[in-house]
Amino acid sequence: MSPGEEIFHLGNFRLKWYGLLIATAVLIGVNLSMRLAKSRKIDPESVADLAIWLVLGAIPAARLYYVLFQWQTYSQHPEDIVKIWEGGIAIHGAIIGGSIAAIIFAKLKQVSFWQLADIIAPSVALGQAIGRWGNFFNSEAFGSPTDLPWKLFIPRDRRPFEYLNSEYFHPTFLYESLWNLLVFAVLMWFFIDDNRHHRFKTGSIFLVYLIAYSIGRFGVEGLRTDSLMFGSLKMAQVISLVGMGIGSIGLSWLYIRRRSLPDVV
């Protein structure tokens, strides 16, 4: 059972777990990416600059993505659109917004987008693993009812209408967090091995992230009860399939056709 979304409040100031975890994920990710950049003989300060672009691109895009697919609710209370501290961001929107920001940054700085993507991919996976715990404190992003030993109690006011009489649900936030930790470990192994033996082509680490994360998200989304929908389709599963497709095509381009990925430089 979640202890609640709020850590403490002092007057009008409220510190919430969701915001703290996102800030922590960003700080850890930036520090890690700077270290990885240094190991690739890339100026770490350029990665620090990129981090600002990523935050400015990813967080608004993540919120916009979420709001668009929940517009029926937000159209009734438009003042809630900016209340990002209350939860309601979509990681696929963050990936799209962050990628656009990174492409623009790489073009302006005349550096390889794919080289930057390889450097930040492990940090993104780790950040997602950390950030998912914000869903735990908010009692959101849970799955269908279950009696498994690791079941999660959800307060009545947080349950979907059709499951009001159910108390315990799949902790899908935990499933995705653990999967992302595994993805992070794999990417770090690839990165360290590549630094030693130069076995991987530029862009391949990011493409592996795209495929691996999408596989996990597709599976976890099948259990969730609060998915963003487009008609009868779960959008996260649709985007995950697109991610798997892009990643597979990219790796085929690199290793079967033996050509470099299109880049901004």
Averaged pLDDT for residues 92-113? 94
Asked if the model's pLDDT at residue 87 lies above 80, the reply is no
**Tokens at 21, concatenated:** 């975890």
Q: 66 pLDDT band (50/70/90 cuts)?
A: confident
44 close to 37: Cβ distance less than 8 angstroms: yes
Mean pLDDT of the chain, nearest integer = 90
User: What pLDDT was estimated at residue 184?
Assistant: 98
Low-confidence winner among 51-55, 85-89, 140-144, 154-158 (lowest mean pLDDT): 85-89
User: What pLDDT was estimated at residue 105?
Assistant: 96
Averaged pLDDT for residues 181-198? 94
Asked if the model's pLDDT at residue 205 lies above 70, the reply is yes
> Over the stretch 108-132, which tens digit does the pLDDT of each residue have?
999 999 999 999 999 999 999 999 9
Averaged pLDDT for residues 69-91? 76
Averaged pLDDT for residues 76-105? 84
**Tokens at 139, concatenated:** 């009692």
Residue count (the chain): 265
User: What pLDDT was estimated at residue 76?
Assistant: 79
Domain ranges (residues) in the chain: 6-255
User: What pLDDT was estimated at residue 14?
Assistant: 78
Tell me which amino acid residue 152 is: L
Averaged pLDDT for residues 126-147? 92
Averaged pLDDT for residues 76-104? 83
Asked if the model's pLDDT at residue 85 lies above 70, the reply is no
Low-confidence winner among 15-24, 206-215, 242-251 (lowest mean pLDDT): 15-24
More confident call, 9 vs 234:
234
Neighbour count for residue 76 (Cβ, 10 Å): 8
Asked if the model's pLDDT at residue 83 lies above 80, the reply is no
d(CA 115, CA 20): 29
Distances (CA, A) of 228 to 16, 66, 71, 107, 257: 24, 8, 11, 33, 37
User: What pLDDT was estimated at residue 145?
Assistant: 95
152 close to 3: Cβ distance less than 8 angstroms: no
Asked if the model's pLDDT at residue 86 lies above 70, the reply is no
145 close to 168: Cβ distance less than 8 angstroms: yes
123 close to 27: Cβ distance less than 8 angstroms: no
User: What pLDDT was estimated at residue 233?
Assistant: 82
d(CA 192, CA 36): 9
**Tokens at 195, concatenated:** 């630094």
User: What pLDDT was estimated at residue 166?
Assistant: 94
Low-confidence winner among 3-7, 114-118, 136-140 (lowest mean pLDDT): 3-7
Q: Name which of 47, 194, 215 is nearest 117 in CA terms.
A: 47
d(CA 9, CA 249): 49
**Among residues of the chain, what percentage have pLDDT more than 70?**
98
The dihedral through the CA atoms of 120, 121, 122, 125 has a sign that is positive
d(CA 49, CA 69): 31
